[in-house]
Structure 1
Amino acid sequence: MAQGSKDRSSAQKVLRIGFWLTDAFDFYALASALEPLRVANETAGETVCEWQMLSLQGAPLRASNGVTMATQALDQAQPFDVLMHLTCVGPHGARGLIRELLARNQRDLAAPHTQADARRLH
């Protein structure tokens, strides 16, 4: 019986995932996606998930936190079952978005309030 389950396990299909990155991609989003895949492989005791880092040009890309990631050109990728696109969320990744939201909040707080707003605040 142990032999049968080993045969079934070795015949199990490996999930192949492509991570398509763009410049200033969110590194923490990538790490959050990779860690469960790594744990799945570790728990299974074999490779059940494989992944590749991809980009349009296949050149190294810098994440929003400054970490550089080697990539393979998308058109040179190995076949995959799932393609995940990780991109930046603002002009300078997540930091740019947070700066924009904080600046917008500051502008809103500094803007003159209408009489109706003033009455609601008091």
Structure 2
Amino acid sequence: MKYAIFLFNDDEMCMVHAFLYVRELNENGVEARLILEGRATKVPKMYRESGLIGRYYEEAKEKSWIDCVCRACSVATDSLSYAEKEGLRICGDLNGHVSILSYINRGYGVLVMG
């Protein structure tokens, strides 16, 4: 099985767990991808190279564990340009948001962390 982990908020404790889960799964042979939605789209803007979240973010980015960033939410959080500069894939196939169905159709189980 493979998993798509949708992270929706910018609570640091929640973010730490999302990054830990995506790492744990991938390091143990289970494909997992992180999707930044809602307030979590601020991660590339606020945490790049700073603190614990920054270290986890950089690792996930380097290992291609971040699959996409929501276009509509990154516009709303004023972080679209940061995600683009970081080279992250921007998705908006559901009225500007990321489609969960697109992941289900590709065989992913979906975890939502909000």
Q: TM-score, normalised by structure 1?
A: 0.37
Q: TM-score, normalised by structure 2?
A: 0.39
